[in-house]
Amino acid sequence: MDGPSPYRVTRLEHSLQSASRAEDDGADEETIACAQLHDIGDVLCPPNHSEAAAAVLRPFVSERNWWIVRHHGLFQGYYWFAHYGRDPDERDRHRDSPHYEATVAFCENWDQNCFDPAYPTRSLAHFEPLVRALFAREPRPFV
């Protein structure tokens, strides 16, 4: 995640900025950890990186946070699909989801704006305890 990227910051810096902004907005620790981890998989499988990240997180997070991470890629399309001939409102097919508004807010506040080299982004070491605590939880079984 710390390698070359097409953005103004590396993917690692983007993720750290997402977690930093979530922390600055008073999000709970699980949500901050999800912000830190929402783009894992982006190096291996960019087109479905949301799905990859959500699969890793699923046993350890709430249904709501899983759903947000799972769908954030589609919801992010609101900001760029138009440049590639896609409908920016594709996310609206999920309007009936109880997590729709939370996912819109995640993208607006903690994702699409997290490419700013000037933001006071915290270090990976700062968030490491949150991430370790998350994966130290008893995994929640699901089918």
Task: Give residues in contact with Fe ion (CB under 5 A).
Answer: 39, 111
Contact present, 39 and 11 (Cβ < 8 Å): yes
In the bound state with Fe ion, the residue whose beta carbon lies nearer, of 13 and 39, is 39
In the bound state with Fe ion, the residue whose beta carbon lies nearer, of 30 and 111, is 111
In 47-123, where does DSSP find H-type helix?
A: 49-57, 63-76, 100-110
Q: Tell me the CA distances in angstroms from 17 to 31, 96, 139, one per residue in order.
A: 13, 30, 27
Task: Tell the residue number behind the tokens 């729709």, with chain if given.
Answer: 100
In the bound state with Fe ion, the residue whose beta carbon lies nearer, of 100 and 139, is 100
